[in-house]
Structure 1
């Protein structure tokens, strides 16, 4: 495998505000800013025993209460969003003992409902994995009851005024699922049908599609007031937003810098090379055990005396796997972002009993961790075959031990010796070429380097693709 990797850049990035060429910097973008909406998609499912399912509903109540309390404080004056759903919090993190007792009251009231307990028991007995649409269905049916529990406790502690209209049967939706033996009938259809799993997935997909359409209709007709977005998030949109945020409970946030193994595609030059008016940087990697790395300097720790610390570390080039479909993730067995103690106490235990979902971690935590990180990197290096023309590789930056949520912390610096050359696009202006030449000349003189190469891209009628020729006459002489 070649140790050369190509990085297409706009002139505005290289020479403009960010001065990437001058600073020798590589920016790691968040997945939301990339051009594929399926970036980092994971086919997550939930399959576990009564212990983890009961703990999930408790966690749902915890996150809903924290967002409800934020709504009480913020009103509509300060926007709140799905990012404010604190899925990483746990029931040990309350600022006061009174607050903790308040939440314990909510938990007791919630699980005192026999229909809730029966629903959780039925869910835990499902014989096929539960995917996002089915989980949404259950949480959506529980949501009104959970809200009612929270607001009842708020009222009894004089945290909110008495409501004029109180729900008299907020558990009606849950009771209906139990009375009709919904999950039992679901299991029956699975046993009777050859493609039962597909039928179940289609059922819940159609249900969620209906929900989205009705939500859009209600918003269009003014039933959901757009001026009360915070309230809508808590009262209506929370189940959907909660499920979306659950993924951040499993894996850390990640960022990427994209490279390619070739630069012949006109489409690639058009998309990433600023319509052929940008440039393509050629990086030379370090090969270790048949893997390629780039040495980059970035934040690597924090000192109580000096603040953030910085240093070089080798970042691996991960090849993109262009496949049909995405990897599956078993939620209850992939809670690797949390400390082991938190996983065991908050998710894997109930009244002294340990969930079977903890078996792999208990057998060998090292092996379990290895599998966890393999799944993490697998899923962020997958794209559909539609993108195969890019021949992409990527470097990864993840929030495992440090946070890179601030964009300034995601700009890492490479060694100048790693930059082998630069290819000018077909439409790169002479003025921009001269600016690039000037910057590279100064860097070559400082490092006493005479092997830097410039190339000019052109369309080859023979090869039927973009090729480039060396600009051998451009040489910089080192000062004596």
Structure 2
């Protein structure tokens, strides 16, 4: 026999929603989350009512199996219970994710690597060796186009491992104004001592971005073989909230070559060639390469394709001619 235990919610839905509204003092965050939270709590109230009736049936009328308990609409309480468990499991994750957004804005990242012959990376990131590897010039003059504007291509190396940096949530409210932070930390006994961390703004800002760098440019040592570099664009002012503005692109003159994978099909090679030929006037010092497996050395070797040159292409753009 199974018994259903009624959980007692001591805090009313209305008070809890009011508390959350105060937490999400940022207008945009509040608009995005409060409606969904209210729906969640309505479901919790509804289930609490159903469970109370089920509890009476079990203990007053002798029904001893969950499968025998139904509400007035004929719906299984077991199904409602499962739905409620999902709400209880997912809601804390949603709540914590929104709190995290109060600390740091989302970042959009472009990843590069110094390695072009790592078999595991070709398998993971290049469709099991059927894709290609693009070679870019990431020099000081290079720029990235994102959100309709050009920004410097600030390529930074990933550090692997390193010390853990503790982050106090109440002292890292970077997305709120000082007025909002003070109000957020204001209680019945006055302003929290955490507010003292904001007294030296320069020192606070230095630590704030140190933690941001650790979050954005650090990975565990398990990934060290990738020799990764990243370009990160922070959505500080919400300018990339619209998906269309999240597209990142490079000027064609930064593309210096392409490495075809071991299993890249001839059809895909011709399609890529046709695309590149349309921009051949913008591509300087462009080189084609082919990845091959060396059984003797038991590793991937990168071979230059000597007869593939965009500058010597004479035919129409149909992807069939190479010189």
The TM-score with structure 1 as length reference comes to: 0.48
Q: What is the distance in 2 between the residues matched to 1:411 and 1:86?
A: 34
Q: Structure 2 residue aligned with 1:315, among 144, 153, 159?
A: 153
* 1:243, distance to aligned residue in structure 2 (A): 3.3
1:171-182 → structure 2 map (5 Å cutoff): none
Q: What is the distance in 2 between the residues matched to 1:326 and 1:374?
A: 12
Q: Secondary structure at the residue paired with 1:225?
A: helix
Q: What is the distance in 2 between the residues matched to 1:254 and 1:222?
A: 41
1:56-135 → structure 2 map (5 Å cutoff): 64-65=16-17, 88-89=24-25
Q: What is the distance in 1 between the residues matched to 2:134 and 2:117?
A: 14
Give 1:225's aligned residue.
81
Q: What is the distance in 2 between the residues matched to 1:227 and 1:453?
A: 57
* 1:262, distance to aligned residue in structure 2 (A): 1.0
Give 2:196's aligned residue.
359
* 1:468, distance to aligned residue in structure 2 (A): 0.8
* 1:266, distance to aligned residue in structure 2 (A): 0.6
Give 1:130's aligned residue.
none
Structure 2: stretches of 5+ with no match in the other structure: 1-12, 32-40, 53-76, 315-323
* 1:478, distance to aligned residue in structure 2 (A): 7.3
The TM-score with structure 2 as length reference comes to: 0.69
Listed one character per residue, the Cα deviations across residues 1-56 of structure 1 (whole Å, up to 9, x for unaligned) are xxxxxxxxxxxxxxxxxxxxxxxxxxxxxxxxxxxxxxxxxxxxxxxxxxxxxxxx
**Is residue 22–residue 184 contact of structure 2 (8 Å, CA) maintained in 1?**
no
Matched, 1:282 2:120: no
**Is residue 450–residue 476 contact of structure 1 (8 Å, CA) maintained in 2?**
no
Q: What is the distance in 1 between the residues matched to 2:284 and 2:107?
A: 37
* 1:88, distance to aligned residue in structure 2 (A): 3.2
For this pair of structures, how many residues does the alignment match?
263
Q: What is the distance in 2 between the residues matched to 1:323 and 1:394?
A: 16
**Structure label with greater radius of gyration:** 2
Matched, 1:328 2:166: yes
* 1:244, distance to aligned residue in structure 2 (A): 4.2
**Is residue 293–residue 301 contact of structure 2 (8 Å, CA) maintained in 1?**
yes
1:274 and 1:294, CA in 2 relative to 1: closer, same or farther beyond 3 A? farther
Give 1:296's aligned residue.
144
* 1:67, distance to aligned residue in structure 2 (A): 9.6
* 1:456, distance to aligned residue in structure 2 (A): 0.7
1:459 and 1:240, CA in 2 relative to 1: closer, same or farther beyond 3 A? closer
Q: Secondary structure at the residue paired with 1:456?
A: strand
Structure 1: stretches of 5+ with no match in the other structure: 1-60, 69-84, 96-146, 152-159, 167-220, 288-292, 300-309
1:416 and 1:258, CA in 2 relative to 1: closer, same or farther beyond 3 A? same
Higher RCO structure (Cα 8 Å, ≥6 apart):
1
Q: What is the distance in 1 between the residues matched to 2:230 and 2:30?
A: 40
Q: What is the distance in 2 between the residues matched to 1:253 and 1:90?
A: 15
1:259 and 1:362, CA in 2 relative to 1: closer, same or farther beyond 3 A? same
Give 1:395's aligned residue.
231
